[in-house]
Structure 1
Amino acid sequence: MFYEVVHSAVPPLLKAIWRPTVLGVGNVPKHGGVLLASNHLSFVDSVVIPSVAPRPVAFLAKSDYFNGTGIKGAAQRAWFEALGMLPVDRDDTQAAIDSLDTALEVLGKGEAFGIYPEGTRSRDGRLYRGRTGVAHLALTAGVPVVPVGLQGTDKIQPVGSRFPKLAKVTVKFGRPLDFTGRADGVPLGRARREVTDEIMAAIQALSGQEPAGVYNDRAPEV
């Protein structure tokens, strides 16, 4: 019930404030498991995508967002749960591995799961090399991958900013990528790398970002 209330209120509010340009919505399958693989520019990406997607999309979020106390903590937890976010401890290696199992459970139920192959948001606007977890999910679950290109979300809440700002936002959903049979007769590691690179190329074509050519290491907490 709370999801329906929040989801019916957030998209109209978002569109009224930021007036996002949304392209290719019809590329998102209406039914069945699907991965939405996106570039990552800002914390608000996980709010923007579910708000404009034609179906609910689950994302992973830092467990800290779910552990608050008091009224504020309860409200924050309810908000993230209503947006379909699932908690993960990014500092726990085993928890990060388990998060892939969580994603497979979501996909196995025929739902949509959102993932940022870069691993963490870009702090300089470039598109970083994708990590192969996205390919692991696509090949294991046997689901299509819809590439997503975000533009302008880094201007909504720039790195280091505490409050959102007005900005021009564009969300582009690309055509679904089908990797059925891609691991047949090919070493699994190689298949995952090739699939990941294809997904990142599709994301880059949508986002227009400059490829960084390296992995994006998470910045130290300050």
Structure 2
Amino acid sequence: MSDKVFENNQVSIAGEVATEFTFSHDVFGEGFYVVDVLVKRLSDAYDIIPIMVSERLIDVKQDYRGKYAEVIGQFRSYNRHEENKNRLVLSVFARDIRIVDEISENVKPNFIFLDGYVCKPPVYRKTPLGREIADILLAVNRPYGKSDYIPCISWGRNARYAETFAVGGHVQIWGRIQSREYQKKISETEFEKRIAYEVSVSKLEYLDET
């Protein structure tokens, strides 16, 4: 990307269109819509990635289910106020989207690069099977004084490395976006199925301490 404003948050997604477009919000007369894309993993599993698209990029009234989408954009967050608390909502903001019959060989189906700053102390833990994991919350700057807050998860040696990162530390991350289902407790007897999104880290670099 030639535009330096967008170099610190780069996403490439390619997969099958799974839903129709649904209206999200309006900014100065420009409508934004969300569509879910199924992105295949190396296994037979899929990640369900929400794509935020301007009505000026594509005909959002069309039903593209069953076709494939190739998307270039950024991973963005915003806080949605619900149940007296803020919920972090994540989606890929499309700067360009193409609907195709099959995915091009030179397109990266699930790639993300982030250049940002550690928001809070990373949380290191081990799973019951002994796998090492560290959670990192990364703040990635956006124009006009805004920031996106992106949860990232690292594994193994990267997890041990990430545990040492200081709050405010400058970090670069390469990886993929993954979706994960979880049960949200609504009441003592009621649970709601939700989907969380995070960056699965394949490579990371710690550039400085503050």
TM-score band, normalised by shorter chain: under 0.3
Higher helix content, 1 or 2 = 1
Q: TM-score, normalised by structure 1?
A: 0.25
Structure with the bigger RCO (C-alpha within 8 Å, sep 6+) is 1
Higher Cα radius of gyration? 2
Q: TM-score, normalised by structure 2?
A: 0.26
